[in-house]
Amino acid sequence: MRFYLSPRPLLGLSALLMMLACNRAPPPAVDATPPPVSVAAAIEREITLTDEFPGQIEALETVAIQARVNGYLQSIHFKPGTEIKRGDLLFVIDPRPFAARLVEVEATLANSHAQLALAKAELKRQTDMLETHATSEREFEAATAAVQSLEAGIRGNQASIASARLDLEYTRITAPIDGRVGKDEVTVGNLVQGDSGSPVLTTLVSVDPVYVSFEADEHAYLKYLSGTRSERLSVEVGLADETDFPHQATLDFVDNQLSTTSGTVRLRAVMMNPDRRFTPGLFARVRLHSATKSAPVVLVAERAIGTDQSKRFVLTVGVDKIANYREVRIGRQVGNLRVIESGLALGEVIVVSGLQRVRPGAPVTPELVPMDAGKALASP
């Protein structure tokens, strides 16, 4: 048996599809215009060479105060945390045993002097008697030896007196330098000892001037210090709560070799501290520069530099109006501009605004603007 499908339903379905196709809106036109961006040419300025490093404030002199004699701590004569002068009394150890020892050795010396006087008188008699042969050579030599022995004993007694006086002086512990004293680590009544293992009684650090210590890499060493160790380079310092480098210092020490492990060299600058703002141990930001060295550098706007993980980059734009990725090494900031140490040449055009709308290798619609965008360049 055969079945035949009528063509009328098929014709109706085709007509319905054509009507729906006619009623559908046309797709929107795609805008093929590349995204607009602001571009500027890299500029060049003559600036003083500088580099920045992390550093630390250190005291010129640091003294750990310890006892030199054994004894009981009798009194403390300072307030912890205050500034003191050289020679100020800090501690007193019970001096009575040492005073008694001094009296003892002084008495021994007096006795030796009395015996020496008697021995000299005996020697004089022996000398007179020897001329008349009234005594023997043996007795004369014995008298001479007795005088010499007592004279040697007196020198030993004098040394003992000097040592006893020194020990008595050591019972009064005074400040060896001007500076700020720490807390008293041992309280009154405790036994202190004057050997190598004696405890630290307190610490004393100088406060004005102070050191600023830091380490510079090999690149900075070759730039500033190679062959110019006699030049007094200028150093500027800023603390953690400061945005700039308002404090002046002078470089006074460069180590005699670079570390083969870290590739850095140790440096130290001296800075005055009249307001006592700098305390040993504070973190410091150090900017090293030479007052006699300047060089032309390439500068670009800070906002034109992108970050790709640990790398810094810019997008250059050539005559083909294509954005190209360019890795750069950046240097210090100068006003609203940033020094480009490598990776970009003077006059090359880069994207300064609209980085987020551009992909490397994509076309752009560039609009040329000044690199500093009309802002004044800060004085280097």
Q: What is the pLDDT of residues 143-195, one digit of tens each?
A: 889 888 888 988 998 999 999 999 999 999 999 999 999 999 999 999 998 87
Residues 66-76: tens digit of each pLDDT: 999 999 999 99
pLDDT confidence of residue 240: 87
pLDDT confidence of residue 203: 93
Structural domains of the chain sorted by starting position, each given as residue range(s) with its CATH number in brackets: 36-47+296-368 (2.40.420.20), 52-60+209-293 (2.40.30.170), 66-92+173-205 (2.40.50.100), 95-170 (1.10.287.470)
Residues 85-106: tens digit of each pLDDT: 999 999 999 999 999 999 999 9
CA-wise closest residue to 45 among 359, 365, 331, 250: 331
Contact 84, 105 (CB under 8 A): no
Share the mean pLDDT of the chain.
84
Q: Is residue 376 very low, low, confident or very high in pLDDT (cuts 50, 70, 90)?
A: very low
Amino acid letter at 209? P
Residues 205-214: tens digit of each pLDDT: 999 999 999 9
> Is pLDDT above 80 for 112?
yes
Percent of the chain with pLDDT over 70: 86
Lowest mean pLDDT among 209-218, 279-288, 321-330, 365-374: 365-374
> Is pLDDT above 50 for 377?
no
Kindly report the pTM of this predicted structure: 0.66
Taking residues 216-245, what's their average pLDDT?
A: 78
Helix (H) or strand (E) holding 284: strand 283-301
User: What residue has token string 């079945």?
Assistant: 3
pLDDT confidence of residue 358: 85
Lowest mean pLDDT among 24-33, 222-231, 331-340: 24-33
Which are the contacts of 50, defined by CB distance < 8 A and separation ≥ 6? 287, 288, 289, 332, 380
pLDDT confidence of residue 218: 84
Q: Is residue 292 very low, low, confident or very high in pLDDT (cuts 50, 70, 90)?
A: low
pLDDT confidence of residue 201: 92
**Which residues pair with residue 39 across a beta bridge?**
351, 368
